[in-house]
Every structure is written in C-alpha cells, then in structure tokens.
C-alpha cells in the first residue's frame, strides 16, 4: 500500500490553525500538561516581544495528524498548543 503525503509540512500562523470549525484532540498517550510558571513566562515574553517589534517569531513546531472532517490529533507540541489556546480564549473573553 502506498502512502502519499506522509509528511505534508507547512509553516502557518496561529490564526491559520485556530478557528474555522477545526477540532483538536490530544491523544491519551501524550503526557499530562505540566507547564509551570517558568514556561508560561517564557512564552508570554515571546508574545510581548512580537507585539513590540512586529517581527515574526518562531515558537517551535506543532505536529498535527489530519483525521479528516476538520479534526486533528496534536502529535507534537500539545503543551505549547494548549497554552496558546488558553491565552487566545482569555483574550477573547476579556
């Protein structure tokens, strides 16, 4: 059986990922959320630097497995992805 586009990679922004009716699931084999204050502060400082300079900033990779019908499994980077999602939701609610 041939597998096409096994590693279909692209660079996208957070706004490209969030929204548009997409649903994300962190598979049960991923470790529990364990970020602490230090990791949150590092990410927040990165976000502040972006907002001050307007520059693009690489925040690491997130690997998604397309499950079809706008559903994705978060294979790599679930802690960063979850944290960014929490921040976005907090901003929307404020």
Predicted TM-score (pTM) of this structure: 0.74
Identify which of 36, 25, 32, 15 has the alpha carbon closest to the alpha carbon of residue 64. Answer: 25
Q: 61-90, pLDDT tens digit by residue? A: 888 888 999 999 999 989 988 998 898 889
Provide the residue range defining the domain that includes 48.
Answer: 36-93
What confidence tens digit (pLDDT) does each residue in 24-64 have? Answer: 999 999 999 999 999 999 988 988 888 888 877 777 788 88
Domain count, the chain: 1
- pLDDT surpasses 70 at 4: no
Q: Is residue 77 one of the residues assigned to a domain?
A: yes
Does some domain include residue 5?
A: no
* Domain-located, residue 16: no
- The answer to whether position 13 is within a domain reads no
- What is the SS3 string spanning 63-88? EEEEEECCEEEEEECHHHHHHHHHHH
């Amino acid at each position: 059986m041939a597998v096409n586009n096994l590693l279909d990679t692209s660079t996208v922004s957070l706004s490209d990922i969030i929204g548009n009716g997409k649903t994300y699931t962190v598979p049960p084999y991923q470790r529990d959320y364990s970020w602490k204050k230090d990791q949150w502060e590092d990410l927040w400082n990165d976000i502040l630097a972006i907002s001050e300079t307007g520059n693009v900033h690489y925040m690491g990779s997130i690997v998604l497995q397309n499950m079809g019908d706008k559903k994705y499994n978060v294979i790599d980077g679930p802690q960063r992805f979850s944290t960014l999602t929490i921040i976005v939701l907090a901003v929307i609610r404020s």
